[in-house]
Amino acid sequence: MFTNNIRTITVFFAFVCALAGCRQTVDVHFDPSVADYTPVVREILENHPEGNITLRFGKGVYPFYPEKAPEEFLNVSNNDSGNKRVAFLLKNMKNVRIAGDETDFMFHGSMTPFAVKGSENVEISGISIDYDYPWTFEGTVLSNDPVNRSFVVKVFSDSKYRIVGDRLLFSGYDWEYPMGESIVFDPSTHRPWFDTAAYDHGYWSGEMGAREIEPGVVEFTRLSARDVPPVGSIWDDKGPTKLNRLYPAIAVLCSKNVTLENVHVYRSGGMSLIAEYSADVTLRNFSTAAHEGSMRMITSSADATHFVNCKGVITLEDCRFESMLDDATNVHGIYMLVDTLLSSNMLRASFGHFQQEGNHFAEEGDVLRFVDKTSLRPVAEVTLTSIDKSDRQRYVMTVDANLESILAEPKRYAVENTERVASAIIRNCSVEYNRARSLLISTPGDILIENCRFGSMMAGIRICGDANYWFESGNTRNVVIRGNKFTDLAIGGREPQAILQIDPIIPRDSRSNDFFYHDRIVFENNEVSTFDNQIIYALSVKSLEIKNNKFVDTGTYAPLFPMLSVIDVQYCGDVKIVGNDFSKWKKDATISIHNCVEVENDSDVEVVDSPNPVFFQS
């Protein structure tokens, strides 16, 4: 029997023994008179500090509040790190299972539902994660005034807000955000509005003015966008940077062998799942879809899933990624920037992006690689002998080599950890209704993406590598993308987005065909049905195979970038464009080949040398 200050709850025990010992099973039954299950869960976990426990929850909506939750500092890359109240804190545990029976967990206020930290063999299944208030402000546009740069919104009834002066502040149980980053959605498709960049109010230009016309109806002024949002569209705002990624739903940190199955995240104040410096993470039937029949356009305020400096195998199977305000997944490492040499074998390096600060990065014995941060060419590999992380922004590292002979101009270089290499299997998943891309893959492991459906706002699959902007490594070695369907992606407008976008950030003057950042990428037996002109953009790939794909011009929208070639390859090695079906594609299409070593092309599409003139660093 566990006691808390709300009431006494009876918890039933069973013991399941194996050769290695016993795992205790604790059944937590739903009782509608219990106002807060946070202290119940906390007491159970604190009584089993080493793990070896199964928590089983029955059907019901279990409430959780932050006041009695344990507090833990969480380093969460690409979110905002800090002290978090955590309902389920699994710290330094082994063999833990959280099992629901179509169980709903309702969280109130500023808290992270799950943090798995320094743990192994963890399973979470059969649950949903939701919050009492949405983490975004949403409403229907009733009218607009292009002359006065204003529009009127009917606020969704589940939003909580107030106006102070002419500032609108939206809120939840114990938090309040000003307006910040916004986007416009189409309620008829639940997707971002076509060419939604036209309605983008840049938060850097200042907050819009707000005036309440009547309860639930607000007029916004001082719009800085190119155009006013269309009548009938849904205006969505998630608040400003440094506030809108505070509370990811699930954080997996420095852990291994973590499985989530039949887990549904309806809302989160950051990413639905962030896994950092972990190994072997599996998601099956993981979903970020909205409640059936909901008018809400947004579930997660950031990515559905994100994997940083992980290794082993990342498996995503039968997952449904919808309605998030960023990518379905992003798998990458980190480039730290070399600041200075402190001695012949000691350097100081810093994080390039503030949301990477405090990342575990490396341990003694790991092999580090230095790259020229402009060309991304590797310079040398060394072994790490010690690392000082007392400053979260700058680490001091000692290595087994003479750095003075390697790094003549230290600030020219970035450094990555070659030990944190993840492979990925992404199979039978769907991505729809979200802002940004479907998948971002920047990891040297073996990658298989098959039998998936993609319909995101920007690129379908982006394979990058970048030591200057987001500082996300690294080069891929073997990527196979086969048997997938891509439908009307790249509707955002701001800049060209390809269905398959291979774009390591290498400035034009640093490109050549004697060095290839990515190794082998295969795009085969896929069906691409889309409206815009460019399907594949590829830069700096040693071996690129584009074969047996079907390309269909949907005509759904007018092309946003009609000057671009259907396939654009630059500074690649061996390129094969064979067996593809262009019979239902645009009749005036071209394929652009620029400074590639060897190209085999059996299509009837006209070949030109006309690289994308507006794409990023082109």
Query: What does the DSSP assignment read for 448-467?
Result: EEES-EEE-SS-SEEE---S
Q: Where does the pLDDT of residue 205 fall: very low under 50, low under 70, confident under 90, or very high at 90 and above?
A: confident
**Spatial CB neighbours of 551, under 8 Å, sequence gap ≥ 6:** 528, 535, 566, 580, 581, 582, 584, 585
**pLDDT above 50: residue 2:** no
Q: Do residues 170 and 139 lie in contact, with contact meaning Cβ atoms separated by under 8 Å?
A: no
Looking at residue 614, its pLDDT comes to 75
**pLDDT above 50: residue 301:** yes
Looking at residue 22, its pLDDT comes to 74
What is the torsion angle, in degrees rounded to the nearest 10, for the CA atoms of residue 532, residue 535, residue 539 and residue 544? -170
Looking at residue 16, its pLDDT comes to 42
Looking at residue 11, its pLDDT comes to 45
Identify the three-state secondary structure at position 126: strand
Average pLDDT over residues 373-389: 98
Q: Where does the pLDDT of residue 9 fall: very low under 50, low under 70, confident under 90, or very high at 90 and above?
A: very low
Looking at residue 23, its pLDDT comes to 85
Amino acid at 401: A
Average pLDDT over residues 431-437: 98
Looking at residue 502, its pLDDT comes to 97
Strand bridging mode 51-57 / 21-28? parallel
Half-sphere exposure of 177 (CA within 13 A, CB side): 24
Amino acid at 353: H
Amino acid at 495: E
pLDDT, one tens digit per residue, over 176-200 is: 999 999 999 999 999 999 999 999 9
Taking the C-alpha atoms of residue 49 and residue 461, their distance in angstroms, rounded to an integer, is: 41
**Spatial CB neighbours of 203, under 8 Å, sequence gap ≥ 6:** 179, 180, 181, 182, 240, 241
Write down the pTM of the prediction.
0.96
User: What percent of the chain has a predicted confidence (pLDDT) above 70?
Assistant: 96
pLDDT, one tens digit per residue, over 304-360 is: 999 999 999 999 999 999 999 999 999 999 999 999 999 999 999 999 999 999 999
Average pLDDT over residues 120-139: 98
Taking the C-alpha atoms of residue 459 and residue 454, their distance in angstroms, rounded to an integer, is: 9
Round the average pLDDT of the chain to a whole number and report it: 95
- Phi first, then psi: what are they for 40, rounded to 5°? -65, -50
E strand map for 531-613:
536-539, 541-547, 550-553, 567-570, 574-578, 581-584, 590-594, 598-601, 606-608
Of 213, 223, 121, 133, nearest in space to 177 by CA: 133
Average pLDDT over residues 8-30: 62
Q: Which long-range contacts (CB under 8 A, 24 or more apart) does 556-562 make?
A: 556/488, 556/530, 556/531, 557/194, 557/488, 557/491, 557/531, 557/532, 558/531, 559/531, 559/532, 559/533, 560/195, 560/490, 560/491, 560/493, 560/496, 560/532, 561/496, 561/532, 561/533, 561/534, 561/614, 562/533
Please list the residues that pair with 64 across neighbouring strands: 107
Looking at residue 193, its pLDDT comes to 98
Q: Where does the pLDDT of residue 17 fall: very low under 50, low under 70, confident under 90, or very high at 90 and above?
A: very low
Looking at residue 278, its pLDDT comes to 98
Q: Do residues 364 and 385 lie in contact, with contact meaning Cβ atoms separated by under 8 Å?
A: yes
Taking the C-alpha atoms of residue 262 and residue 99, their distance in angstroms, rounded to an integer, is: 10
Q: Where does the pLDDT of residue 12 fall: very low under 50, low under 70, confident under 90, or very high at 90 and above?
A: very low
**pLDDT above 90: residue 75:** yes
pLDDT, one tens digit per residue, over 583-608 is: 999 999 999 999 999 999 999 999 99
Least confident of 15-29, 199-213, 486-500: 15-29
Identify the three-state secondary structure at position 512: coil
Q: Do residues 584 and 549 lie in contact, with contact meaning Cβ atoms separated by under 8 Å?
A: no
More confident: 13 or 173: 173
Looking at residue 4, its pLDDT comes to 40
pLDDT, one tens digit per residue, over 39-64 is: 999 999 999 999 999 999 999 999 99
Of 524, 371, 538, 366, nearest in space to 449 by CA: 524
Looking at residue 204, its pLDDT comes to 80
Taking the C-alpha atoms of residue 563 and residue 579, their distance in angstroms, rounded to an integer, is: 25
pLDDT, one tens digit per residue, over 498-534 is: 999 999 999 999 999 999 999 999 999 999 999 999 9
- Phi first, then psi: what are they for 199, rounded to 5°? -110, 15
Of 112, 99, 461, nearest in space to 271 by CA: 112
**pLDDT above 50: residue 382:** yes
